[in-house]
A = this chain, B = another copy of it.
Amino acid sequence: MRVRLEDVARAANVSPKTVSRVLNDEANVTDATRQRVRAAMEAMDYRPHPSARSLAGNRSFLVAMLYDNNDNPSSTYLAEIQDGVLEACDAHRYSMMVRPLRMRDGDFIRRLDALISDHHPDGVVLTPPITDYAPLLKRLRERNVPYASVSPLRRGKTLGVTMDEQRAARAIVEHLLGLGHRRIAHVVGIADHGASRWRLAGYREAMAAAGLSEDPALVVQGAFTFGSGVEAARQLFSLAERPTAVFAANDDMATGVMWAAGEYGLKVPHDLSVCGFDDTPLSRQLWPALTTVQQPSREMGKIAAEQLLSALRGHGTGRLVQIPFSLQIRGSTATVP
């Protein structure tokens, strides 16, 4: 039969309430007692019953991860974040549930309400691009559900994690400038994603700092997909004056650019330098391997969840952590032809 808290209490010769206190790391238990109880738990391999805890304590020990699988910034990215969030939840003995929620659907808020009413998550983790969807944030606040975000657009007092994407984008464009490139194109991501804005801003900043005025023909709209990268590149390669380097706002599009380069008989990096953003596994598998910005998605998911949890447990309050990026200079970029 199942070992219950009461059994542990009897074994440790204390009241059930004291075992509960130890279980929940509450104050006012002497070290000696705490040790004794811990030992008993250990010895009996005690596992608290989550439903009982949740029913009695009016908390669910549940974190929900929300994502938009429609405007999907690549399933690899989400899968990595999910792994990170899960790792953090596990470590704190919370459980996690995932929740696709389509921002464009009319019943977004209704579904959110259903999630909250049905499962009572203690908190939620928001992933791009729904980190800044105002009606969502409003409802979460109204219903008093704490949240943490991965790469939120607005950096107010939100909890979560960010990377300085603009500075990273600037750095990678400066890398291209350093190789002598001047006609550097940029393939932009989906318009209203923060990622697209920051990366574009970083591109512009670097170009301006180098004293280059922006050529609108060199800034092409993409949609974060391989296919959109191919199309953007075809557009660029048809230009009278072709770029010598392309900075795509993510690796998938950069891969598309490299693909299109093949179609046009352009050798990368000899005739064309290409770089991306994200450092997806794909980027290392290409040949030549892609110069890109490493974005540690898994780590970011983990940190966001940790900030949320630390806010939930009242240990400190959680904050917006900024994590460093690193440039991955690989074979796809070289000096200007």
Contacts and interface: CB of A to CB of B under 8 A. Distances in A.
B47 A118 contact: yes
A55 B282 CA distance: 46
A95 B93 CA distance: 18
A198 interface: no
A100 B301 CA distance: 15
Given A82-B98, A83-B69, A98-B86, A119 B50 contact: yes
Interface in A279-336: 281-282, 284-287
B51 A285 contact: no
A95 B75 contact: no
Nearest to A78: B79
A95 B259 CA distance: 42
A225 B51 contact: no
Contacts of A86: 98, 100
B95 A97 contact: yes
Return the 8 tightest CB-CB contacts between A and B, nearest first.
A227-B285, A262-B262, A75-B79, A51-B54, A51-B51, A51-B55, A75-B76, A47-B117
Nearest to A61: B51
Interface in A223-259: 225-227, 230, 256, 259
Contacts of A97: 95-97
Nearest to A87: B100
A107 interface: no
Contact of A50 (B51, B69, B96, B226): B51
A226 B118 contact: no
